[in-house]
Structure 1
Amino acid sequence: MFSGLKEKVGEVLLPGDEFSAPNNDTISLSDPVKPERVVCGPGLRRSGDRVVVCKSGVLRHKHPNTFWIDSQQKRYVPAKGETVIGIVTVKSGDVFKVEFGGSEQASLSYLAFEGATKRNRPNVQVGDLVFAQFMIANKDMEPELVCVDSSGRANGMGVFGAGGLLFTVSLGLVRRLLAPHSDVLADLQQLFPCELVVGMNGRLWVRSSSVQRSLIVANLLQSCDTMTAPQRQQLFRRVAQGAL
């Protein structure tokens, strides 16, 4: 275990902070995970026998041995297997170009949809929203998206967005929303029932019973970034009373 790292969980760390790491004690997220090893997530990197913090934020820990930095970062770096909300920008032959908020656009084949064949092409137009998963995401290759899972099923992915509202939040809030038993999501659904699609790239799509309620939900979620749980619950109750 890293010397002093576990004791810092929950504290704010800054770029350049270092911790000792015995040889062969860490692995990257793409390596097979062994129970006795430590996984360095976003914001932490290995440098020789040291672990260095490379972005500011709060140190988090997940049992048994996963550590990462939780920050208010808004710039998204694609990772294989993550699901994102993208916007189709170009329709060229057999490939669509999708803007997802990264440094470059991703490609999406027309065959990367459930049931798609050369004769049965999906109805995808420029400007459409797609909920898709990264199949290829590394610094040496163009990012590639698919709208099917490993078994070839859509599993909720594909073109969507009719009648809803798209907006952006920090990547930290996205992780809180996608966490099991998310308190933010539970408070929201209790007061404002709505459909919500969450992309790992910081984009959220919401559709409620009216346009006004969709705007209220979007504003509430964007306000949650810097609020404590009591502050958030108080705000939700106050807005709900005014909306009734």
Structure 2
Amino acid sequence: MAAVAVKPTEPEVGKCVCPGDAVLALPETGVVRIGGGLQQEGAVLVASKAGVVRQAPRTGKLWVEPRQKRYIPSAEDAVVGRIIDKHSENYGVDIGAPFRALLPVLAFEGATKRNRPNLQVGDLVYARVESAHRDLEPVLSCTDAAGKASGFAHLKGGTVVEVSTTHARALLSRPPAAVLSALGRALQFEMAVGQNGRVWLDAPSPATVILVANAIQSSEFLSPAQQEHLVAALLRGSSAAAAAAARQRQQQQADGQQQEQQQGSGGDGK
């Protein structure tokens, strides 16, 4: 007896699929938002690449997330990009994709021809992919669909660390990843996660930036409980290092004071 392909009425989020696997039977009414790795065949959405089925919690957008080294832009993705050239009407931005992206100079909240940002080559931006086509340069915007900044902006200062695109999407999930929750309870820092595998970090001290970067990069293949233990261990190590540095400074100060006293005593004895 021949096997009958099952057409799921609900997407199995987190399921591994291969090209041609049915992901969702399209409803008769309503709109289904899809991203990369999916295509429509009749009344069914099927996977066009191997990967894991993902769904955005707020918009319901579906996509297949492959473990790929190079980022493939998809509309509505949030990305961290670096300005690589500037022109009168747009900036060229490196987002780690096969093509550079274009960021119009007016694609910022409140921007006009007289009042627009003056970004320089090397500057970082947190932007939204407004449009993406296979054979064209993707277009970015530093506003949401309603024209508001919504966190998209020129990123000043800080540093960028690289993670896989899979891990980046996990860091953007809701509820927050365990590693971010644990870090947020103990430390003050700013972060912008790009679905292109770049994470921008800034904090009051370089030591905090290094600790957060290490935690994020080391947590990809860990369970939530393991992520919590990882952060706790890093915090303990950081506290121990800070205490050792403080003891060293105190010892240096004591040695300096002792040396000054000895020099002063020698001078009085002459």
TM range (shorter): 0.7 to 0.9
Which has the larger share of strand? Answer: 1
2:138 is aligned with 1:138: no
The residue that corresponds to 2:167 in the other structure is: 173
Over 3 Å counting, the alpha-carbon distance change for 1:18 and 1:119 in structure 2 is closer
Measure, in 2, the Cα distance between the counterparts of 1:7 and 1:112: 34
Gaps spanning 5+ residues in structure 1: where? 28-32
Normalised by the size of structure 1, how large is the TM-score?
0.78
Measure, in 2, the Cα distance between the counterparts of 1:234 and 1:155: 33
Task: State the aligned residue count.
Answer: 232
Q: Which amino acid in the other structure matches residue 113 of structure 1?
A: F
Which has the larger share of helix? Answer: 2
Measure, in 2, the Cα distance between the counterparts of 1:230 and 1:56: 28
Over 3 Å counting, the alpha-carbon distance change for 1:71 and 1:224 in structure 2 is farther
The residue that corresponds to 1:34 in the other structure is: 30
Measure, in 2, the Cα distance between the counterparts of 1:43 and 1:168: 23
Alignment RMSD:
3.2
| 1:22-52 superposed Cα distances (whole Å, 9 cap, x missing partner) | 6xx379xxxxx727xx766543444568765
- Residue 43 (structure 1) aligned to one of 12, 26, 37: 37
Percent pairwise identity: 34
Measure, in 2, the Cα distance between the counterparts of 1:187 and 1:16: 37
Q: How far 1:58 moved relative to its partner?
A: 3.8
Over 3 Å counting, the alpha-carbon distance change for 1:61 and 1:136 in structure 2 is closer
Q: Which amino acid in the other structure matches residue 142 of structure 1?
A: E
Measure, in 2, the Cα distance between the counterparts of 1:188 and 1:179: 16
Q: Which structure exhibits the higher relative contact order, with contacts defined as CA atoms closer than 8 Å and separated by 6 or more residues? A: 1
Over 3 Å counting, the alpha-carbon distance change for 1:126 and 1:175 in structure 2 is same
Q: How far 1:223 moved relative to its partner?
A: 1.3
Matches within 5 A, 1:8-23: 10-13=14-17, 15-16=18-19, 18-19=21-22
